[in-house]
């Protein structure tokens, strides 16, 4: 692999360029892209030309750059999340319609919660989750449910890597996770929004470990939480069965 | 960009490697990947190592290779299809439940129909479309509806590039497209499955050009087609409005 004088490989730069786009910044000028990706401007112009020629990036009419349809196609044609999403989507629609609030599907990836799918409802409470967005494990009901139902080695590794940045102490977190395992679900008040509460139920494999998590975000203090949790638990079992777990 | 002795760039090889996976081949051995991507085996082993290290590919327990969750995340976080999909999904759910058959969203990309989203129904008729899969323009109701409502330059370019491979003559195709424009929808019997018929309605922008197409696949001769078309037309208008067109 060709390296630049700084030892930066082509793939390093490519990943940083793709990583510069997000839901808030779907289009960028090449200059701002070079800045965000920490790539010299001349390199960025050449690399963007190449990436546009391959369809991985695209240029808008105003010369701004965005991700290319070809990249989306390549990444989604055999997406690692495909089977999970296909099994979960009908159940997510059921929960979304019966509970009447935003419903999401997520998994644990590199010590964060990665949102795979989200179904919205008009008039639903504010919700920080975006598809393909990441959220902190210990500040979301999704993350706590995923962690509580992780294999022991995953939990211990997570605590080792992230203990110092946690809000709670390890013993306290362990007690909380044990309670989530007993209950079969996690709930947590929104950490940015003061008006919402999240509820999350693991989708379990045959060994009882979380493959993913199904969650809703409901208004706080509306009394809907127990019923929403029951809808999630029922749907999560259906998804496990559909996955052959 | 570093080129191999054959003049093949790193990006050429990367795209061919990603392009080697599809819905039928979500996992591959490195050897079969090298073969499908037309990359020397030693190069493939080195490149796969690099791509796995960057999370763009992942190794299964049995050493087979698949697309990485990180690639999915990067491609979907600010997907070029994001706004369209978000606007369309609630209407697609409505059509899927009311019509009771597979419902799909697609757009015209590089002279082919690219499927963006698909909602399935248990027991629905066979359907060749997969999310992020491609289908031929002139053999699907989706393609005909997209072509009929394309800007004139897009249509002429398509006919110029693909005239010789078409099943119909240009005058005949032009007559069919004119009829689709008058009707506001396209229908076509399945070209592989003899038991299904597709119906497709364009999602129009403010100039009356197709941004995308909404379609269902229904059993042939079941008498459901006129009602399905009306559901699609109603939903397509709702999606246009939701997109601010």
Residue B5 domain-assigned (yes or no): no
A69 shares a domain with A187? no
A238 shares a domain with A144? yes
3-state secondary structure of A139: helix
Residue A117 has pLDDT above 70, yes or no: yes
Which of B75, B95, B118 terminates a domain? The answer is B75
- Torsion (CA) A150, A156, A162, A165 in degrees, nearest 10: 100
Of A15, A25, A50, the CB nearest to B1: A50
For residue A188, what are the β-bridge partners? A198
Tell me: the pLDDT tens digits for A28-80? 999 999 999 999 999 999 999 999 999 999 998 888 999 999 999 999 988 88
How many Å apart are CA B242 and CA A94, to the nearest integer?
A: 23
How many Å apart are CA A165 and CA A189, to the nearest integer?
A: 19
Which of B46, B75, B104 terminates a domain? The answer is B75
- Categorize the per-residue pLDDT at A21 as very low, low, confident or very high, splitting at 50, 70 and 90: very high
Residue A65 domain-assigned (yes or no): yes
Which secondary-structure segment (H or E) carries A135? Answer: strand A134-136
CATH number at residue B66: 1.10.10.10
The answer to whether A50 contacts B114, with C-beta atoms less than 8 Å apart, is: no
The whole-number average pLDDT for the span A145-151 is 97
For chain B, positions 26-45, list CB contacts with chain A under 8 A.
26
pLDDT at site B170:
81
Distance from CA of A196 to the nearest CA of B (A): 22
A110 shares a domain with A70? no
Residue B40 domain-assigned (yes or no): yes
Chain centroid offset of residue B74 CA: 19
Which secondary-structure segment (H or E) carries B153? Answer: helix B152-162
- Categorize the per-residue pLDDT at B81 as very low, low, confident or very high, splitting at 50, 70 and 90: confident
B85 shares a domain with B53? no
B222 shares a domain with B131? yes
A58 shares a domain with A22? yes
Tell me: the pLDDT tens digits for B140-155? 999 999 999 999 999 9
Lowest mean pLDDT among A4-8, A34-38, A227-231: A4-8
B227 shares a domain with B170? yes
Which of A37, A56, A75 terminates a domain? The answer is A75
3-state secondary structure of A109: strand
B202 shares a domain with B125? yes
CB B149 within 8 A of CB B202: yes
- Categorize the per-residue pLDDT at B31 as very low, low, confident or very high, splitting at 50, 70 and 90: very high
- Categorize the per-residue pLDDT at B1 as very low, low, confident or very high, splitting at 50, 70 and 90: very low
CB of A22 less than 8 A from some CB of B? yes
The answer to whether B19 contacts A74, with C-beta atoms less than 8 Å apart, is: yes
Phi, psi of A194 (to 5 degrees): -90, 0
How many structural domains does chain A have?
Answer: 2
Tell me: the pLDDT tens digits for B192-245? 778 899 999 999 999 999 999 999 999 988 789 999 999 999 999 999 999 986
Residue A222 domain-assigned (yes or no): yes
A156 shares a domain with A117? yes
CATH number at residue B112: 3.30.450.40
CB B136 within 8 A of CB B147: no
Interface test with chain B among A36, A42, A78, A118, by most B beta carbons within 10 Å: A78
CB of B49 less than 8 A from some CB of A? no
The whole-number average pLDDT for the span A192-215 is 93
- Which residue range forms the structural domain that includes residue A134? 82-242
CB of B163 less than 8 A from some CB of A? no
A108 shares a domain with A40? no
Residue B119 has pLDDT above 90, yes or no: no
């Amino acid at each position: 692999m060709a390296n630049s004088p700084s030892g930066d490989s082509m793939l390093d730069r490519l990943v940083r360029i793709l990583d510069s786009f997000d839901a808030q910044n779907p289009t960028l000028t090449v200059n701002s892209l070079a800045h965000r990706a920490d790539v010299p401007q001349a390199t960025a112009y050449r690399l963007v030309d190449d990436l546009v020629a391959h369809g991985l990036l695209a240029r808008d009419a105003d010369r701004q750059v965005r991700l290319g349809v070809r990249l989306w196609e390549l990444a989604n044609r055999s997406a690692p999340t495909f089977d999970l999403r296909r099994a979960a989507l009908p159940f997510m629609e059921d929960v979304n319609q019966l509970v009447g609030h935003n419903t999401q599907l997520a998994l644990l990836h590199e010590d964060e919660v990665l949102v795979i799918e989200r179904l919205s409802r008009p008039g639903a409470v504010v919700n920080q989750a975006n598809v393909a967005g990441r959220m902190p494990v210990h500040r979301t009901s999704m993350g706590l449910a995923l962690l509580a139902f992780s294999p022991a080695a995953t939990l211990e590794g997570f605590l080792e890597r992230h203990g110092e940045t946690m809000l709670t102490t390890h013993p306290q977190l362990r007690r909380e996770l044990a309670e989530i395992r007993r209950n079969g679900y996690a709930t947590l008040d929104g950490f940015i929004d003061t008006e919402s509460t999240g509820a999350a139920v693991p989708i379990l494999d045959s060994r009882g470990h979380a493959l993913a998590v199904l969650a809703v975000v409901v208004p706080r203090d509306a009394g809907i939480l127990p019923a929403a949790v029951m809808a999630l638990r029922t749907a999560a079992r259906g998804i496990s069965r559909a996955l052959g777990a």
